[in-house]
Amino acid sequence: MRILTAGESHGEYNVAIVEGFPKGVKVDKAFIDQELKRRMSGYGRGKRMGIEKDEVKIVSGMRNKVTLGSPIALLVKNKDVRIFSQKKDVLAALAVPRPAHADLAAALKYGETDIRNILERASARETVARVAAGAMCKQFLSAFGIKFASFTLSIGKTTLADLPKDISEIIRKTKNSRLNCTDKEVEKLMIKEIQDAQHQKDSVGGVVEVWIDGVPAGLGSVMHYDRRLDASLAGAIMSIPAVKGVEIGLGFHYAFRHGSKSHDAIFYNSHKGFYRKTNNSGGIEGGVSNGSPIVFRLAMKPIATLRKPLESVNLRTKRKTPASVERSDICAIVAMAVIAENMAAIQIMNAFLEKFGCDSLKEIKTNYCNYL
């Protein structure tokens, strides 16, 4: 399966083309819309989220709500449209890059003097298309009992101490949270972190933890580097704008422990088969899923646009100037969690199709049952 996205932040549409999605999968548009709505939610988002009402239009690849095996085109219309492919717009050129955004590095790469031509595509608005495609993958995977959930582990200096034990606890406790947090008291402190950043005309990042339950052992490969599930998962998560770190299971903490205190001992009984009492590996060993829940974390840097901007340099005059200020979020950690779940769904589905076949749901189900 291949997924391409297209669209500028203030262009007419966000577009995803999903090629190689199996035939025979019932797709509920309402579920995709619900994921798009989750992506727009969360305390700390900017004014744009009050303008848009992201809703998918599925324009090909399905008949009577069931996939045909042909390429699926997904469109999400922008409301705040300011640039046009065939018409002149009224936007002034931007010449002062924001530190931490793509502005300078990409302007140098493309020989660009109007940063707007960079930021329109670099904007995290592009993740609308990824979430629409990922929400289709989630629906396919749910036919095999594979579920996704996430929670906010930290924002700024505030970190959740009491960690959830399983995916149902995450789903239950994050349900009415404004920050996708499992603890009401910690959530208040997290909101305060965002408010403090806002008062200081600053931005703040955080850490998200994602859980994937029901993944069978055997996805990915030990045989070649580019087929390892941990590598494809980490790569996909790192591709999300503002993500600067990914760790699977114990991640960086492994490096501070002895093997005897970090590896997951193996047990067997006839009822459960092989099983573990711990999951420090985060469900992946040797690049292959081992049947435990897949657990990973991602670190989001603070949003690049600052209302009290850092020093920068005008691309044209080369004079020292404060960085440009665009409408932006203070903290987009909830969006990050939703995007990460859906990017993970794309990678897990790809590994699933590689193992069990990719043409029709019926054939994949037969192969899956035979394997189990």
Residues making contact with ligand EPS (CB under 6 A) = 9, 46, 48, 80, 123-125, 303-304, 326-329, 335
Nearer to ligand EPS, 196 or 326 (CB): 326
28: which DSSP letter?
-
Q: With contact defined as beta carbons under 8 Å apart, do 313 and 184 qualify?
A: no
147: which DSSP letter?
E
Nearer to ligand EPS, 59 or 91 (CB): 91
* Closest CB 357 distance from ligand EPS, rounded Å: 35
Nearer to ligand EPS, 205 or 282 (CB): 205
Nearer to ligand EPS, 82 or 173 (CB): 82
The pair phi, psi for residue 81, each rounded to 5°, is -95, 125
* Closest CB 14 distance from ligand EPS, rounded Å: 9
Half-sphere exposure of 139 (CA within 13 A, CB side): 23
- Closest residue (Cβ) to ligand EPS? 123
**C-alpha 89: how far from chain center:** 31
* Closest CB 198 distance from ligand EPS, rounded Å: 14
* Closest CB 335 distance from ligand EPS, rounded Å: 6
* Closest CB 303 distance from ligand EPS, rounded Å: 5
Interacting residues of 4 by C-beta distance below 8 A, sequence separation 6+: 16, 17, 19
Nearer to ligand EPS, 38 or 138 (CB): 38
Nearer to ligand EPS, 167 or 304 (CB): 304
Spell out where the chain has E strands: 2-6, 13-19, 56-58, 62-63, 66-67, 72-77, 147-155, 158-159, 206-213, 243-248, 266-269, 273-276, 284-285, 288-289, 294-300, 311-313, 320-322
* Closest CB 136 distance from ligand EPS, rounded Å: 19
* Closest CB 40 distance from ligand EPS, rounded Å: 7
Nearer to ligand EPS, 152 or 280 (CB): 152
293: which DSSP letter?
P
Q: CA-to-CA distance for 251 and 272, rounded, in angstroms?
A: 27
The two three-digit tokens of residue 17, written as one number: 């083309």
